[in-house]
């Protein structure tokens, strides 16, 4: 479904991705792990069309996405929850969610999507008239996931959804991804919370300094000596 081949991306002179290849299949949960500055956000932003690659390509159902404008990438069923949530802070929960259903295909499914989001995060229904800025970090993350789900995607990409959120709510967010996946949506999850991500994912990639350093089934990576040492501590904490 999603295929990334030999992707090279630079921020000015800083090379962030150096030949990255990976795939995410229909219905899969795939995790992308890696330390700060590895290029994880750069990868997601490039897939979404907000950054343009220097070399390599991104294909979606066989279509080259390099020339597709970001809002049309969304229209093709590829949604993203950006790092730091990036909500419209002066608007209410419901206005943010409604904007997720802006594009024609999403608008047609709007009522159903809204019910699905409220079923996923009942707390949002109670707060739907509240201005987003007044919510806690965890609740805001729910809005961010909800807004992306309102686009009615077939693949949901998330950039560190657990960042800066109370531990109790991290579980709620990550659990929701399993529900979303059961509904037939593939999930591509960037996380630094390695243990939680590997518990959730079917497969995972490890990105280090712009290259894929390891990949395989999540269970195998949990046993991988390099992964254990670098990301799970010497005793597999």
Partner 1 sequence: MTVLAQQLVLGLLIGSLYGLAAAGLSLVFGVLKVLNVAHGELIMLGGYGAFWAVALLGMDPFAALALVVPAALVLGAVLFLGLFGFVMRADEETRIKNSLLIGFGLALALHALAVQLWTADERSIPTPYGGAVITVAGLSLPVVRLLTLALAFALIGALHLLLAHWRWGQAIRAAAEDWQAALLTGIDVRRAYLLAFAMGTALAGAAGTLVTIGYSISPSIGLEWTLKALIVVVLAGLGSMLGTFTGGLALGVAEAVSAAAFGGPYREVVGLVIFVVVLLVRPRGLFGR
**Contacting Mg ion (CB under 5 A), which of 5, 21, 41, 192?**
41
Of the ranges 56-64, 78-86, 100-108, 129-137, which one interacts with Mg ion (CB under 5 A)? 78-86
Q: Name which of 1 and 196 has its Cβ closer to Mg ion.
A: 196
Pick what 91 binds: partner 1, Mg ion, ligand ATP, none; C-beta below 5 to 8 Å, kind-dependent. Answer: partner 1
Q: Is 74 in the site for partner 1 (CB under 8 A)?
A: yes
Of the ranges 36-44, 105-113, 115-123, 124-132, which one interacts with ligand ATP (CB under 6 A)? 36-44
Q: Is 151 in the site for partner 1 (CB under 8 A)?
A: yes
Residue 16 is encoded by which pair of tokens?
């962030």
* Residue 100: Cβ within 10 Å count: 24
Q: Is 36 in the site for ligand ATP (CB under 6 A)?
A: yes
Q: Is 11 in the site for partner 1 (CB under 8 A)?
A: no
The closest alpha carbon to 151, from 85, 107, 182, 120, belongs to 107
Q: Is 95 in the site for partner 1 (CB under 8 A)?
A: yes
State the nearest-atom distance from the C-beta of 166 to ligand ATP, in Å: 20
Q: Is 148 in the site for partner 1 (CB under 8 A)?
A: yes
The closest alpha carbon to 190, from 88, 75, 36, 41, belongs to 41
Q: Is 13 in the site for ligand ATP (CB under 6 A)?
A: no
Q: Which H, E and C letters describe the chain, residue by residue?
A: CEEEEEEEEEECCEEEEEEEEEEECCCCEEEEECCCCCCHHHHHHHHHCCCCCCEEEEEECCEECCCCCHHHHHHCCEEEECCCCCCCCCCEHHHHHHHHCCCHHHHHCHHHHHHHHHHHCHHHHHCCCCEHHHCCHHHHHHHHHHHHHCCCCCEEEEECCCCCCCHHHHHHHHHHHHHHHHCCCEEEEECCCHHHHHHHCCEEEEEECCEEEEEEEHHHHHHCHHHHHHHCCCCCC
Q: Is 204 in the site for ligand ATP (CB under 6 A)?
A: no
Q: Which of residues 84-103 bind Mg ion (CB under 5 A)?
A: none
State the nearest-atom distance from the C-beta of 168 to Mg ion, in Å: 23
**Contacting partner 1 (CB under 8 A), which of 82, 138, 161, 210?**
82
Contact residues for partner 1 (CB under 8 A)? 48-50, 69-71, 74-75, 79-80, 82, 86-91, 95, 98-100, 102-103, 106, 147-148, 150-151
Contact residues for ligand ATP (CB under 6 A)? 11-12, 14, 16, 34, 36-42, 83
């Amino acid at each position: 479904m999603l295929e990334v081949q030999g992707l090279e991306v630079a921020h000015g002179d800083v090379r962030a991705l150096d030949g990255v290849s990976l795939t995410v299949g229909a219905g899969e949960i795939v995790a992308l792990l890696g330390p700060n500055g590895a290029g994880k956000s750069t990868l997601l932003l490039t897939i979404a069309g907000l950054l343009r690659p220097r070399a390599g390509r991104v294909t979606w159902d066989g279509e080259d996405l390099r020339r597709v404008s970001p809002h049309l990438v969304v229209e093709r069923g590829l949604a993203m929850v950006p790092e730091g949530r990036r909500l419209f802070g002066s608007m209410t929960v419901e206005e943010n969610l409604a904007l997720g259903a802006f594009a024609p295909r999403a608008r047609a499914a709007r009522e159903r999507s809204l019910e699905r989001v409220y079923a996923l995060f009942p707390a949002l229904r109670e707060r739907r008239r509240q201005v987003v800025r007044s919510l806690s970090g965890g609740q805001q993350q729910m809005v961010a996931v909800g807004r992306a789900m309102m686009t009615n995607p077939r693949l949901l990409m998330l950039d560190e959804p657990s960042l800066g959120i109370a531990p109790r709510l991290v579980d709620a967010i990550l659990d929701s991804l399993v529900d979303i996946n059961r509904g037939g949506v593939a999930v591509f999850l960037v996380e630094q919370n390695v243990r939680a991500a590997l518990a959730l994912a079917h497969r995972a990639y490890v990105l280090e300094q712009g290259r894929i350093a390891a990949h395989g089934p999540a269970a195998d990576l949990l046993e991988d000596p390099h992964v254990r040492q670098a990301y799970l501590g010497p005793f597999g904490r």
